[in-house]
A and B are shown apart, each in its own frame.
Chain A
Amino acid sequence: MIIKKNLILLLLLPFLLISSASSQIIKSVSVDFTRVVTKEASEEVVKGNIYYQPSKGIVLKINEPIQQWMVLEQNTMLIYYQNERKAFRFKSENPFSLPFFQAFLGVDKDGFGLSEAGFKLFRNEMKGDTLFTYWKPPEQANKTLGNTIMGLEKDKLVLVEVQDTKGGELAKTTFSNHFQYGATFFPLEVVSIKYQENSSIVEKIVYANLQFNVTFPEEVVNFKIPADIEIREIEW
């Protein structure tokens, strides 16, 4: 009986995962965010707006603790301080990223990106309303990473836990306050704990005013560093 139940779940799983992926085309995303990082006794709070276009990149307008613009386009990252009248242009062989936001967008990927990355599903179980799926890492990562556990509640991703090779916790992320867009549930609150040897880092991100396929404000669309500002060029 248990085997049969598991078999049904296993057969249903691809459909469950695929149904969580979006069918709508996202041309642009605009969202306000507050990011709080707590490490030991210190706490860092950053507030701002994210403007994202898959075809172009990410524009970040930081409002707190300092006024700052950041523009990420492939291998270039531009930072501009309006008040201080200073600007930096970073260039690298590798693309610049905004990991926490990419994680947010990751829920829009088929199977949340795990199958695509070579992870193998080897077990699943229902606990109450939550479907837990267990994944083995691909060969390239199995020396440093153990299993990954994902928790899904009615197509909503609620938990991701990453273990080390001995089964200990490396990191845990919980997702809540979901916003539905098409068939995808975007978590408006993401709390991650990254465990370290003597301490842990807690990152809490709260998103608000999430909008898709909207026209960005004029200052974002026509963002340009004034001609009289000297840009410091940096190669990484």
Chain B
Amino acid sequence: MFRFTAVTRALALTLAILMFVTPLLAQQTQNSISDFMQGKIDGERAAKSTGAGFGWFLLGCVGGVLWAYILEPDVPGAEALMGKSPEYVMGYDEGYKKGAKSARVKMAFYGCIASGVAYCALYFVVIAAAASESDNNNEW
């Protein structure tokens, strides 16, 4: 009987502790997830706005007074991760890489179109030149 009471008490105590601890743990997990997600969003956004070579030139080489506030460097400034949790940092990294990849793909796509247009233009120029040459030969 005594044993049963002790076990019951221990069980009740464990349940009581769990009742208090579980929401706290859940809250902590929730915070970590939300930090990670926020970091991911911010990182992706940062990847889209970085890459201004001229901005970096001004910022890194000159260290001008105002450019820090206007132009984005090639990699996000350290303040993006300043005072942020490790979860946020991990999310930011993931978002930044994803954003940078999509930006690179976009640039490659534009580059492909531009080179395609250039090839077509060159092709037509060559055809036109050949046709004109052929016309001239026929006249002879």
Contact = CB atoms under 8 A, between A and B. Distances in A.
Interface of A: 35, 44, 46, 48, 58, 60, 62, 64-66, 68, 70, 72, 77, 79, 81, 84, 86, 88, 90, 92-100, 102-103, 105-107, 109, 112-114, 116-117, 140-141, 145, 148, 157, 160, 162, 170-171, 173, 192, 194, 203, 232, 234, 236
Interface stretch (B75-83, B113-121, B130-138): B75-83
Interface of B: 54, 56-60, 62-70, 73-75, 77-79, 81-86, 89-90, 93, 96-97, 100
Contacts of A94: 56, 73-75
Nearest to B85: A66
B68 A194 contact: no
B63 to A, nearest CB: 5
A70 B81 contact: yes
Given A96-B75, A99-B69, A141-B54, A46 B59 contact: no
B78 A112 contact: no
Contacts of B69: 99-100, 103, 162, 171, 173, 192, 194, 203
A103 B82 contact: no
B59 A97 contact: yes
Given A117-B58, A162-B70, A98 B64 contact: no
B82 A236 contact: no
SS class, residues of chain B in contact with chain A? helix
A112 B89 contact: no
B62 A113 contact: yes
A192 B67 CA distance: 11
A116 B62 contact: yes
Given A72-B78, A79-B81, A94-B75, A100 B68 contact: yes
Contacts of A109: 62-65
22 contacts: A46-B79, A48-B82, A48-B83, A68-B83, A72-B78, A81-B86, A88-B86, A90-B93, A92-B75, A94-B56, A96-B77, A98-B79, A103-B63, A103-B69, A109-B65, A112-B65, A116-B62, A117-B58, A160-B65, A162-B66, A171-B70, A194-B70
Contacts of B54: 140-141
A49 to B, nearest CB: 12
A98 B56 CA distance: 12
B83 A65 contact: yes
Contacts of B65: 103, 106-107, 109, 112-113, 157, 160, 173
A97 B70 contact: no
Q: Which 4 A-B pairs have the closest CB atoms?
A: A99-B68, A113-B64, A46-B83, A94-B74
B84 A66 contact: yes
Contacts of A92: 74-75
A20 to B, nearest CB: 11
Contact of B82 (A62, A95, A171, A173): A62
